[in-house]
Protein backbone atom coordinates (compact mmCIF):
# COMPACT_ATOMS: atom_id res chain seq x y z
CA UNK A 1 0.00 0.00 0.00
CA UNK A 2 1.37 3.40 -0.96
CA UNK A 3 1.73 6.03 1.70
CA UNK A 4 -0.38 9.23 1.54
CA UNK A 5 2.81 11.19 0.80
CA UNK A 6 3.47 9.06 -2.29
CA UNK A 7 -0.09 9.50 -3.58
CA UNK A 8 -0.12 13.31 -3.28
CA UNK A 9 2.60 13.93 -5.94
CA UNK A 10 0.75 11.61 -8.35
CA UNK A 11 -2.49 13.55 -7.83
CA UNK A 12 -0.70 16.85 -8.39
CA UNK A 13 0.97 15.54 -11.55
CA UNK A 14 -2.39 14.33 -12.89
CA UNK A 15 -4.03 17.70 -12.18
CA UNK A 16 -1.20 19.59 -13.91
CA UNK A 17 -1.39 17.29 -16.95
CA UNK A 18 -5.17 17.72 -17.17
CA UNK A 19 -4.88 21.51 -16.96
CA UNK A 20 -2.26 21.53 -19.70
CA UNK A 21 -4.45 19.44 -22.00
CA UNK A 22 -7.46 21.67 -21.39
CA UNK A 23 -5.36 24.75 -22.16
CA UNK A 24 -4.06 23.25 -25.39
CA UNK A 25 -7.52 22.19 -26.51
CA UNK A 26 -9.08 25.60 -25.88
CA UNK A 27 -6.23 27.36 -27.68
CA UNK A 28 -6.67 25.12 -30.69
CA UNK A 29 -10.41 25.72 -30.83
CA UNK A 30 -10.03 29.49 -30.63
CA UNK A 31 -7.24 29.53 -33.19
CA UNK A 32 -9.42 27.61 -35.66
CA UNK A 33 -11.02 30.71 -37.22
CA UNK A 34 -12.07 33.43 -34.77
CA UNK A 35 -10.44 36.84 -35.18
CA UNK A 36 -8.70 38.18 -32.07
CA UNK A 37 -11.09 39.51 -29.43
CA UNK A 38 -11.15 43.31 -29.45
CA UNK A 39 -13.26 46.02 -27.86
CA UNK A 40 -16.59 46.69 -29.54
CA UNK A 41 -19.20 44.53 -31.26
CA UNK A 42 -18.92 42.84 -34.64
CA UNK A 43 -21.36 40.73 -36.66
CA UNK A 44 -20.06 38.20 -39.20
CA UNK A 45 -21.84 36.69 -42.20
CA UNK A 46 -20.17 33.30 -41.61
CA UNK A 47 -19.79 31.07 -38.59
CA UNK A 48 -16.82 31.36 -36.20
CA UNK A 49 -16.20 35.03 -37.05
CA UNK A 50 -15.68 34.50 -40.79
CA UNK A 51 -17.10 36.28 -43.80
CA UNK A 52 -18.17 39.89 -44.10
CA UNK A 53 -17.72 41.89 -40.88
CA UNK A 54 -20.15 44.60 -39.73
CA UNK A 55 -19.16 46.85 -36.82
CA UNK A 56 -22.00 47.68 -34.43
CA UNK A 57 -22.33 51.17 -32.94
CA UNK A 58 -22.72 50.35 -29.23
CA UNK A 59 -23.66 53.96 -28.44
CA UNK A 60 -26.89 53.66 -30.47
CA UNK A 61 -28.92 52.07 -27.66
CA UNK A 62 -32.51 51.02 -28.34
CA UNK A 63 -32.65 51.62 -32.10
CA UNK A 64 -33.74 48.67 -34.27
CA UNK A 65 -31.33 47.99 -37.12
CA UNK A 66 -32.33 45.82 -40.09
CA UNK A 67 -29.47 43.83 -41.62
CA UNK A 68 -29.04 43.40 -45.37
CA UNK A 69 -26.73 40.39 -44.92
CA UNK A 70 -27.87 38.23 -42.00
CA UNK A 71 -25.02 37.44 -39.61
CA UNK A 72 -24.29 33.90 -38.42
CA UNK A 73 -21.84 34.80 -35.63
CA UNK A 74 -20.84 37.69 -33.39
CA UNK A 75 -18.06 38.95 -31.20
CA UNK A 76 -18.63 41.53 -28.46
CA UNK A 77 -16.38 42.93 -25.74
CA UNK A 78 -18.08 45.75 -23.88
CA UNK A 79 -18.53 46.58 -20.24
CA UNK A 80 -21.76 48.48 -20.79
CA UNK A 81 -23.71 47.08 -23.76
CA UNK A 82 -24.98 43.86 -25.27
CA UNK A 83 -26.98 42.90 -28.37
CA UNK A 84 -30.41 41.43 -28.80
CA UNK A 85 -30.79 39.79 -32.22
CA UNK A 86 -34.02 38.84 -33.99
CA UNK A 87 -34.81 36.47 -36.89
CA UNK A 88 -37.28 39.05 -38.30
CA UNK A 89 -36.39 42.41 -39.86
CA UNK A 90 -38.36 44.58 -37.42
CA UNK A 91 -36.97 43.58 -33.97
CA UNK A 92 -40.46 42.45 -32.99
CA UNK A 93 -40.13 38.66 -33.25
CA UNK A 94 -40.66 36.86 -29.93
CA UNK A 95 -37.69 34.59 -30.67
CA UNK A 96 -34.93 37.02 -29.74
CA UNK A 97 -31.41 36.03 -28.67
CA UNK A 98 -29.26 38.12 -26.29
CA UNK A 99 -25.47 38.17 -26.50
CA UNK A 100 -24.26 39.36 -23.12
CA UNK A 101 -21.41 41.87 -22.96
CA UNK A 102 -18.51 39.46 -23.58
CA UNK A 103 -19.05 36.80 -26.22
CA UNK A 104 -17.56 35.14 -29.26
CA UNK A 105 -20.24 32.80 -30.59
CA UNK A 106 -22.20 31.42 -33.50
CA UNK A 107 -25.84 32.48 -33.57
CA UNK A 108 -28.65 29.92 -33.31
CA UNK A 109 -30.11 31.27 -36.61
CA UNK A 110 -29.40 33.96 -39.19
CA UNK A 111 -30.39 37.30 -37.66
CA UNK A 112 -32.34 39.87 -39.69
CA UNK A 113 -32.26 42.71 -37.14
CA UNK A 114 -30.69 43.75 -33.83
CA UNK A 115 -30.92 46.26 -31.03
CA UNK A 116 -28.17 47.47 -28.65
CA UNK A 117 -29.26 47.26 -25.01
CA UNK A 118 -27.54 48.13 -21.71
CA UNK A 119 -25.57 45.22 -20.27
Q: pLDDT per residue over 51-102, tens digit each?
A: 999 999 999 999 999 999 999 999 999 999 999 999 999 998 778 999 999 9
Give me the mean pLDDT over the 20-37 stretch.
Answer: 57
Q: What is the pLDDT of residues 70-79, one digit of tens each?
A: 999 999 999 9
pTM of the prediction? 0.72
In the prediction, which pLDDT does 112 show? 95
The pair phi, psi for residue 118, each rounded to 5°, is -60, 145
In the prediction, which pLDDT does 32 show? 60
* Alpha-carbon distances, residue 52 vs 42, 68, 73, 74, 97 (angstroms): 10, 11, 11, 11, 21
Amino acid sequence: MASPRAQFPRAVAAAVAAAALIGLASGTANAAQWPPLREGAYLYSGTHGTGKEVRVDLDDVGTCHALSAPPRSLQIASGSASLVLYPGADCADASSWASGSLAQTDLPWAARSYRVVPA
